[in-house]
Amino acid sequence: MGVRRLAVVSAGVTAVLAGAATAAVMSAGTGTAEAPPKAAPSRTAEVTRGDLVDTTTVDGELTYTGERRVYAGAAGTVTAVAEDGATITRGRALLKVDRRPLVLMYGALPLYRPLSIGVSDGPDVRQLERNLKALGYGDDMTVDDEFTYATRRAVLEWQEDRGLVETGQVDAGQVVFLPGPVRVSGAEVAVGDPVNPGRRVLSVTSTRRTVHVDLDTDDQSMARKGAPVTIELPGGARVKGTISEVGTVARASGGDAGQGGGDATIDVEITLRSAAKVGRLDQAPVSVGMESERVKDVLSVPVEALLALSEGGFGVEVVEGSGTRIIAVETGAYGGGRVEVSGDGLAAGMKVGVPDR
């Protein structure tokens, strides 16, 4: 049950109370029933002090972060291509053209120029040398911004091992720099297809799981970076997550904003606290419970602990020793099956009666 600000408890809650409550006659102004003492109930709950949280459930999609496109850097015929869902790590081939691999190396800067002896003053050289070291080449090579003879020797060794033409030069037909390991989300070519430099050949993502939500702009106040959420997976399992990114540009669902494509939404990304629990699901629909309101530092009891009083309003049955007494209460917000209450003599730690299940 979500949290709502109430002047009185809502009709839905009242229906619950009507079935579970026992009427008590209250003396005017005292807040205490004049009924004879009764035995303590067999089931009780504690009056607690804390926050009540309103949660709203929205639709999301379980996927992977950081989609990118990979383009061919050489002309020829595709002779091998990574399968959808495959994970490719440093030094491995994304595809082969004329049986020569296009190899993944790690780095933020794309390979925008051929790298060969004499090229200097470039972070792309440093990226290449760092990868060659990580792959076990260039024992005598210094990782810096200069492509030296030591770099060339390392490149030649690497090219020989990978079945590339041994030129000592590295270009976009041999290497793609991406930030880290990738997962192939879609192949744009098949074995036998002709390709030319610049043709899109693969779509890839990072290997980090995420939940994406297209959140209605009317609900954007719920999307606070760092806020906790609960994700319900297909099959009913629940995992915790944290809002990691909140978009600032509204888009029309089903089209660009301003083109009448539907209600406006913003992008919300959620990081899973335990990605291992979701397995290999991709593009799976999920439900996301997001906090929409929080009422801080209030007394609360389970909703079923409320009693409908004959003269109107509500009370709770407080357990004292072997007996009980009724305290009239004012209700406020409710959420998570609990309701905010206040009343004379009511305090955290008290036990109140609740109906047997």
- Of the three residues 292, 314, 332, the one that is the final residue of a domain is 292
| 96 or 120, greater pLDDT | 96
Q: Which of 34-48, 214-228, 324-338 has the lowest mean pLDDT?
A: 34-48
Residue 6 lies in a domain: no
Tokens representing 350 are: 């008290």
> What whole-number percentage of the chain has pLDDT above 90?
61
| 151 shares its domain with 237 | no
Mean pLDDT estimate for the chain: 85
- Of the three residues 206, 229, 250, the one that is the final residue of a domain is 206
**Residue 86's domain is classified under what CATH number?**
1.10.101.10
| 30 shares its domain with 76 | no
pLDDT confidence bin for 97, thresholds 50/70/90:
very high
Residue 227 lies in a domain: yes
| 251 shares its domain with 220 | yes
Residue 127 lies in a domain: yes
pLDDT at 30 over 60: no
Average pLDDT over residues 130-159: 97
Residue 4 lies in a domain: no
**Residue 268's domain is classified under what CATH number?**
2.40.30.170
By residue range, what is the domain housing residue 248? 57-64+208-292
Residue 345 lies in a domain: yes
| 261 shares its domain with 279 | yes
Residue 5 lies in a domain: no
| 179 shares its domain with 104 | yes
Helix then strand then coil, % of the chain, to nearest 5:
15, 45, 45
pLDDT confidence bin for 260, thresholds 50/70/90:
very low
| 95 shares its domain with 166 | yes
Residue 3 lies in a domain: no
- Of the three residues 189, 206, 223, the one that is the final residue of a domain is 206
pTM of the predicted model as reported, rounded to 2 decimal places = 0.67
- Listed in sequence order, the DSSP H helices in the chain are 11-20, 123-134, 149-162
Which of the 8 DSSP states describes residue 156?
Answer: H
Can you point out the beta strands (E) in 25-147? 44-46, 48-64, 68-71, 76-81, 87-88, 93-97, 100-106
Average pLDDT over residues 220-249: 89
**Residue 32's domain is classified under what CATH number?**
2.40.420.20
Average pLDDT over residues 253-267: 63
Supply the pLDDT for residue 293.
77
Tokens representing 275 are: 């990605």
Which of the 8 DSSP states describes residue 65?
Answer: S
Amino acid at 282: D
Which residues have CB under 8 Å from 268's CB, separation 6+? 212, 213, 214, 215, 223, 243, 245, 246, 247
- The total number of structural domains that make up the chain: 3
Supply the pLDDT for residue 43.
86
pLDDT at 14 over 50: no
